[in-house]
Structure 1
């Protein structure tokens, strides 16, 4: 899709998700055209049992950027969504902040509810077998495990009712320090309430926790999907919630083992790990030292923003 040219350095999810968006329940997709040509797009998903719209996918084609088109389509989308869903009172979105590029531009009228750090690494599928062994060896040295003794695995949460009980626990947001009280799945921020669980279920996520009941660390990965990077790559996103570094390391190794076991990746894979800012330095060190997988981006952050409609 030409509208994604020069977007996110080839990491754009839109070409993969656009078709699904057109049929997803409670999603609105607005297309802007000039002289019959598609020049802009924005989408909104109605969440929080009809009270909130999560805005995603704002795109403007290269020839129209810097001409006010983004503002026009956003204002139209706000008005149209309120007509379709009068109960919507809040607008929510996430955006990237790269401290190395200078101060981020503050979005007018938005309140920042939370931030997470992002760690980006890249490698070929053939390298991941050795990378997983590299991570496991580092885990042994980190935890002081005896040679030949396995480091405890994270718990795989597969039962739907079990997962529901965990997510609806009113103490979960404080226990795992959810940013702004929300579960952010691949840039989509959802409050942990029953009306949003069906949305999460549609994403086919793989969940890991540090313990089966009342977890203090929770993570999941979204099935890898294609992106335009370097003519065709896979994007593999891992979302983590909690502040324990050893749990974060165990979760990272566990997710890599799951995608290997399921043969979900092939070719070049770009991995983005979203985590509490306190974990970033330790996770960066954890991923270093294996030549087949390297960090491909400087430190960056994901901002969680909200404002009234």
Structure 2
């Protein structure tokens, strides 16, 4: 591919670029970046293109485009710029190149979506539509220390008789029926959107088929009339410290008791074979954030690890 700028050359990412890509990822999110665990899988996905920007032969930026929503939407993910080159407009250049590429190769794509952290002023949203916002609660703990507290918290809720209903681990045959239920789409999914690992998807059969191929834990409080649904990623290694894993839980719905129960069940199920340090990131409705933090502090002895600004799903025309 020819570069769109005399200073930058653009190309499709390759396996051999991994080392350089990781060198621009190291300080992202304070060492808990998902990119190291996603890069190789991204290169194998037929609907995705991972684009690199190089200056004088060295990687200075990366962004990924993924075609979703029956081919009508492009999702931009994983934007990274090497620390020394930030603030020079490179992020805008690589995104512009990717969008030109999409317009030329996929003329049926009409919408682009992003997930971005932070708080946006109204004037900064003039070019975008805000689809939804989720808050982020980041927890860091040692699994050997927390596991007895986790088991005890679940046991105590079960004894109460009214506070606990066993979350349902959905099988593949259940997922489409539950997530495509019109009441779920309208009343449970934030902005009528499924968000998985920062990527937004419309509740469509094709998107669910894609997500079902991934190693995810799908949970609900009911198959018929759910109030809360959760998606848990399989834990993956992150570079911040040796043997440290990251575990993400996307929580959809605003009913706190059921959200709390599924958080506990996801944590118990998803980390059963792990030991050592874990970063657990919860993505949840803003109305649940404080109550979930208070529960984690009082029942599990946890504290938030760091302040991470909320997750915003934005869209605009291509």
Q: What TM-score, normalized to structure 2? A: 0.87
CA distance in 2, matches of 1:296, 1:139: 25
How is 1:77-92 mapped onto 2 (pairs within 5 angstroms)?
77-92=98-113
Verify: 1:145 aligned to 2:161, yes or no.
yes
Give the stretch that moved more between structures: 38-47 or 297-306: 297-306
Shift of 1:58: 0.7
Count of residues in Structure 1 that have an aligned counterpart in Structure 2: 297
Instruction: Measure the CA separation in 1 of the matches of 2:140 and 2:123.
Output: 28
Question: How big is the shift at 1:8?
Answer: 1.1
Deviations 1:140-161 (A, max 9, x none): 58xx439xxx932111111x22
2:251 and 2:138 mapped to 1: Cα distance? Answer: 14
Unaligned runs of 5+ in 2: 1-21
Inter-partner Cα distance in structure 2 for 1:59 and 1:201: 27
CA distance in 2 between counterparts of 1:285 and 1:293 reads 9
Distance 2:122 2:37 in 1: 28
Query: Are 2:69 and 1:43 equivalent residues in the alignment?
Result: no
* RMSD of equivalent CA atoms: 2.2
Q: Does 1:109 align with 2:127?
A: yes
Q: Once the two structures are superposed, what CA deviation does each residue of 1:134-184 show, in whole Å capped at 9, x if it has no partner?
A: 43256358xx439xxx932111111x22211111222212231x2221000
Is it true that 1:215 corresponds to 2:226 in the alignment?
Answer: yes
Measured in 1, the distance between the counterparts of 2:281 and 2:191 equals: 20
Contact map agreement 1:157 1:207 (CA 8 A) in 2: yes
* Match of residue 246 from structure 2: 235
CA shift digits 1:3-35 (9 cap, x unpaired): 113211112111111111111121011111111
Partner of residue 161, structure 1: 173
Contact in 2 for aligned 1:39/1:64 (Cα 8 Å): yes
Measure the CA separation in 1 of the matches of 2:122 and 2:77. Answer: 19
Residue number among 280, 303, 306 corresponding to 1:294 in the alignment = 303
Q: Please give the residue correspondences for 1:228-267 in structure 2 after superposition, counting only pairs within 5 Å.
A: 228-230=239-241, 233-261=244-272, 263=273, 265-267=274-276
For 2:241 and 2:301, locate their aligned partners in 1 and report how far apart those are by CA, in whole Å.
17
Larger relative CO (CA 8 A, sep 6+): 1 or 2? Answer: 1
**Aligned mates of 2:308, 2:98 — CA distance in 1:** 33
Corresponding residue of 1:171: 183
Q: Is residue 118–residue 300 contact of structure 1 (8 Å, CA) maintained in 2?
A: yes
**Which of 82, 88, 95 lines up with 1:74 in the alignment?**
95
8 Å CA contact 1:119–1:300 kept in 2: the answer is no
- What is the Cα deviation at residue 104 of structure 1? 9.8
Cα offset for 1:48?
Answer: 0.3
CA shift, 1:109, in A, is 1.4
CA shift, 1:49, in A, is 0.5
Q: Distance in 2 between matches of 1:105 and 1:94?
A: 18
**TM-score, scaled to structure 1:** 0.89
